[in-house]
Structure 1
Amino acid sequence: MNGDTATTTHALPDKPPAMYYRMSDTGPDLLRTVLEKKGWLPYIEGESSYWNLWWKGSRYRTVDYEACLPFQRLNHFPKTAVITRKVILPLTNANAVFISAKKQDSLFRMLKTMRGIYGAVFDFFPHTFSLPNDYIRFVRLYAEEEEKGEKSTWICKPADLSRGRKIFVFRNLQHLQYDCNAILQRYIPNPMLISGYKFDLRCYVCVRSFNPLNIYLYNEGLTRFATAPYDMQNLTNQFSHLTNTSINKLSPTLNDSKEGVGAGCKWTLGKLREYFKTEQLPFDKLWDRMKAIMILTLLPVASEVKEPLEGCFELYGFDIIVDESLRPWLLEVNLSPALTVDSDVDVQVKTPLLDDVVRLSGISEADADEAVKYTTQQTRMKAEPRLFRKKSPMSLSGTPTLPKKTRPTYPDSVGSFVKIFPFNEATKAESVQIGKSQLKNTIQEVKRHFFQ
């Protein structure tokens, strides 16, 4: 031996290709933080060669859906916005045996038609009118109730506004004033209160597929409080009657330690569960009824998605209020629910929510590998089209060979998302291409499973 020390070199493992997200500058900052913490990079037009996730607050164009490749995901489905619309236009076929979302233009018109066909199982939303279309019908009902000595309370919500803007509660018809399309609903006068404060629930529902229909419910969520004690004698106090965070963050008592509620205007859903347990109230029964509401709301929409769209998913925000008899009522379904954070509760709920949404979308490192292969082939074809056509007779069309699509799997749970549909073998069989007969059978299964 010559005394020299032998050295051994080890090849470093190849670095996996990066995942890229596409998002506008106004996109949710929290999602950007979650993705970049996972090692994702922002897609830059003209510099990045591919993207894996495109996240938008609004809908995509038809051409965007058509151009979506197997290694890419879009956070909206086409033709499914009906349940997030408030405006109601005339129904074209009110006597239809089966609901077509093309003929419906709002959540509540669709649900009213479903209730007319399938009965009380759809009786989970307040009596609703669309203004100005239903103004005469509302005045007629108002007059009939007044003759009987009844004085209902109503809430008016502008159709094209969000965050609680221009919402008001009234009893006197003279106080009904609006300057845009609006939704008018019978006010739930007897909400469940916690230490005298009204609250509602923001629940997060992710549809991974509409055909077959696969619905997931997030086990965590938000409990949103009004910041003034509930008072039916003062209908003009928004801080008493509205639970919208955008309204209550302006309340003079927001940061006060309110008895039984504490400071701020939000709890986690987990904290509400603990409250129910302490008060010996049946949260699990309430939760099952809420699952039924979500499934029944999404079932008629699924009929419009004729082809499987494996590159899409959808996150909805279901707003539900609970009355004093522990009956849940659907208030609204939100497309692209707010992902801003203005409290520790928001961070606690929404950060893991978004992490689980990305996981549930089915995107993996394998998609980045396929993206690199596809874009590399695309670059070579552009640089040497003649040579490439000779070597690759399968690519005579002038486009790279697309990655082979694999049949997606829909696990029972991903993180805190738990599948709530299909929930048994019968509904699994009915979940593909839901039509008239499948819809009827599935609704019967929902009744048996959640209401008996």
Structure 2
Amino acid sequence: GRAEVYHLVRLALEQASGGGWVEAPAAVGDAACWHLYWSWGKPQVVRANLLTCQRFNHFRHARELTRKDLLKTNLARYQCLGGRMARAFGVLPPTFVLPKEYLAFAEAFGRAAFRGDAEPSGTGAAYGLVGAGTGMGVAGSSATLAARAAMMLGPAGRSSDRGAAGGDRSSTPSAANENIWILKPVGLSRGRGISLVREITDVTYGSACVLQKYVGNSMLLDGYKFDLRVYVLVTSFSPLEAFVYEEGFARVSSVPYSREAASTYDKAMHLTNSSLQKHAHDKGAAVAAAAREGEGGGTKVSLGYLWRRLAASGVDSARCWRRVKEVLVKSLVCVDDVIPNQPNCFELFGYDVLLDDTGKAHLIEVNSSPSLGVDSDLDTRVKLSLVRDIAKVVDPLAFSPAELVRTVTSRRAATAKAASRPQHHSAGLGMAAPSGAVQSGPERDALNRDLGRVFGEHEPRRYGVAPQDSGGFSMICPGSDAYRKVLRLKLAHLARGGRGSGRQPEPEQAAPPAFRAREAPNRPPRPGPVPAATSVRVAASASDRHLDRRRTGPRLR
């Protein structure tokens, strides 16, 4: 199981709200006596049986955001609209999903190789690449192009040793001309199966993988490559509500960066994933060692430390952070119409973002269930605070299980008694009044009294209203400048006569035939066993139900 997740979440919630959380027994299962359900995986919770005040930490169909191929597809839906939409949603480096986009990848690979060889204009016409949009060129098909590219690429992966003007090329060519790609298996995470590709012969046609163009001009920190691990908490899709955590990590490579061809396949230099860096031959982690205590550990430093270092070197770190948040917002907007509303759910996502030397932010991938493992004091400080602040934002509505059972039992008995009586028809309509409808002032007052006994005097937080205490989180959807900017762009496109880009989830995602992104019912998944070691069920103590806690979650109906 994921023992590190269990221990961290339990410790964080024990520290939150003055110890107002206790772990519910595993035997409660789907019973209505827990408030917050945290699991590493996706146990088969019967969502249709949940109360609106119970919160579960996974969305159905979140794979639309976290699977590398589906994320690329969803972003492409907006890019294919052209114009400003294409430029705005081009947040991924050039990416191809194999095997269905193998020919397009081969063409892009060959085009990059020839452009770096002797094609100063970038048109590719001299090499039969004018048919790039169709997969055919003057010289033939993309497969032919791939073969030609493979023959011309040397062991170092360059087309030749001659530059664009015909002179000698430097031994450290411009990163813009480097033809290096990163191969990632579609369904794996934590760096498993990832490799660097410099020759097209390294790619197998039938592989189910994603190929992403290597960003060669990445921003460096003390001569080391780094990327960002940014935490995003989504509390609602359709409508979209999301928060970004202001603290996080800069994951630094353990080998100084070099553009020499001999270093192309050195993963410890080019790939900053923490799971890969733990096995690097050089664990000196010079950058992290130079940070102050609590700001560095292993091969990671805190975001706060990174922004200070960049600002000291003349980089506009505030502008870089704004660009990162714009990337986060665009990625969420592009899946908001394919992930249905699920009022019981929230989820923490781990974004991997790369900054290039111009300060532009590139989205690398989005991870579900980001690692909560603790390997250093920095991990402990950031991740404990992260989970505590998630509890503050999600803040499930406290209720009394005993009062809930009493109220439901009483109202069921009253409903059964009313159903046994002759039905009264509405005058002139000949229609029976709904058995569960609240039709009169006294009945409505009685319902409100029952709800008051169950929930106290508290109300859930409205959508789009910032929590009274959000800890280290700040709202990015809605309300932020980045979100308003994207929304204006979408509205402008619709005003020009553009059509929506909604897409149904793929068939294997078990969507009902009449699925509509914003109207899909919360159909329960098939029940299955829930491993006790991989989940934490947390319930509020009896003494906590009367506390003046901020309410969050969907409005009760």
Relative to the length of structure 2, the TM-score reads 0.62
- What letter corresponds to residue 282 of structure 1 in structure 2? D
Stretch of structure 1 that moved more, 293-302 or 24-33 = 24-33
* Contact persistence 1:80–1:304 (CA under 8 A): no
- Distance in 2 between residues matched to 1:429 and 1:119, nearest whole Å: 15
Deviation at 1:254, TM superposition (A): 1.7
- Distance in 2 between residues matched to 1:110 and 1:145, nearest whole Å: 25
**Residues 7-406 of structure 1 mapped to structure 2, 5 A cutoff:** 27-37=5-15, 38-46=19-27, 50-59=33-42, 61=44, 64-87=46-69, 106-117=70-81, 118-150=85-117, 151=158, 152-177=179-204, 180-233=207-260, 234-255=263-284, 257=286, 264-304=298-338, 307=341, 309-364=342-397, 367-369=398-400, 371-377=401-407, 406=459
Q: In structure 2, the residue corresponding to 1:216 is in which secondary structure?
A: strand
Q: In structure 1, the residue corresponding to 2:105 is in which secondary structure?
A: helix
Deviation at 1:50, TM superposition (A): 1.2
- Distance in 1 between residues matched to 2:75 and 2:38, nearest whole Å: 29
Deviation at 1:183, TM superposition (A): 0.8
Q: In structure 2, the residue corresponding to 1:302 is in which secondary structure?
A: coil
Relative distance call for 1:263 and 1:36 in structure 2 (3 A) is closer
Deviation at 1:60, TM superposition (A): 5.8
- Distance in 2 between residues matched to 1:267 and 1:424, nearest whole Å: 27
- Distance in 2 between residues matched to 1:215 and 1:153, nearest whole Å: 34
Stretch of structure 1 that moved more, 128-137 or 148-157 = 148-157
- What letter corresponds to residue 120 of structure 1 in structure 2? R
- Distance in 2 between residues matched to 1:389 and 1:229, nearest whole Å: 74
- Distance in 1 between residues matched to 2:266 and 2:486, nearest whole Å: 47
Q: In structure 2, the residue corresponding to 1:41 is in which secondary structure?
A: strand
Deviation at 1:428, TM superposition (A): 7.8
Deviation at 1:194, TM superposition (A): 1.0
* Contact persistence 1:50–1:375 (CA under 8 A): no
Aligned residue number for residue 447 of structure 1: none
Deviation at 1:175, TM superposition (A): 2.5
Q: List per-residue Cα deviations over 1:347-378 (Å, max 9, x = no partner).
A: 111111110101111225xx143x33213556
- Distance in 2 between residues matched to 1:177 and 1:299, nearest whole Å: 33
- What letter corresponds to residue 90 of structure 2 in structure 1? D
Relative distance call for 1:181 and 1:129 in structure 2 (3 A) is same
Q: List per-residue Cα deviations over 1:396-441 (Å, max 9, x = no partner).
A: 99xx98868955333166111011222269968998xx99759858
Q: In structure 1, the residue corresponding to 2:225 is in which secondary structure?
A: strand
Deviation at 1:243, TM superposition (A): 0.6
Q: In structure 1, the residue corresponding to 2:475 is in which secondary structure?
A: strand
* Contact persistence 1:124–1:328 (CA under 8 A): yes
Q: In structure 1, the residue corresponding to 2:343 is in which secondary structure?
A: coil
- What letter corresponds to residue 329 of structure 1 in structure 2? H
Deviation at 1:160, TM superposition (A): 1.8
- Distance in 2 between residues matched to 1:337 and 1:439, nearest whole Å: 35
Higher relative contact order (CA 8 A, sep 6+): 2
Deviation at 1:139, TM superposition (A): 1.6
Q: In structure 2, the residue corresponding to 1:220 is in which secondary structure?
A: coil
Q: List per-residue Cα deviations over 1:50-102 (Å, max 9, x = no partner).
A: 111112233465x7332220331011223343011123xxxxxxxxxxxxxxx
Aligned residue number for residue 425 of structure 2: none
Q: In structure 1, the residue corresponding to 2:335 is in which secondary structure?
A: helix
Stretch of structure 1 that moved more, 145-154 or 238-247 = 145-154
Relative to the length of structure 1, the TM-score reads 0.75
Q: Identity percentage over the alignment? A: 30
Deviation at 1:111, TM superposition (A): 1.1
- Distance in 2 between residues matched to 1:439 and 1:304, nearest whole Å: 19
- Distance in 1 between residues matched to 2:384 and 2:300, nearest whole Å: 16
Which of these two proteins has the greater Rg computed from alpha carbons? 2
Q: In structure 1, the residue corresponding to 2:307 is in which secondary structure?
A: helix
Aligned residue number for residue 472 of structure 2: 416
- Distance in 2 between residues matched to 1:425 and 1:272, nearest whole Å: 23
- What letter corresponds to residue 325 of structure 1 in structure 2? T
* Contact persistence 1:216–1:418 (CA under 8 A): yes
- Distance in 1 between residues matched to 2:200 and 2:315, nearest whole Å: 38
Deviation at 1:246, TM superposition (A): 0.9
Q: In structure 2, the residue corresponding to 1:206 is in which secondary structure?
A: strand
* Contact persistence 1:28–1:340 (CA under 8 A): no
- What letter corresponds to residue 32 of structure 1 in structure 2? R
* Contact persistence 2:4–2:373 (CA under 8 A): no
- Distance in 2 between residues matched to 1:244 and 1:425, nearest whole Å: 30
Which runs of no fewer than 5 residues in structure 2 stay unpaired?
118-157, 159-178, 421-434, 437-446, 496-557
- Distance in 2 between residues matched to 1:226 and 1:263, nearest whole Å: 13
Relative distance call for 1:440 and 1:201 in structure 2 (3 A) is farther
* Contact persistence 2:326–2:482 (CA under 8 A): no
* Contact persistence 2:250–2:302 (CA under 8 A): yes
- Distance in 2 between residues matched to 1:429 and 1:256, nearest whole Å: 39
* Contact persistence 1:108–1:128 (CA under 8 A): yes
- Distance in 1 between residues matched to 2:93 and 2:474, nearest whole Å: 28
Aligned residues: 389
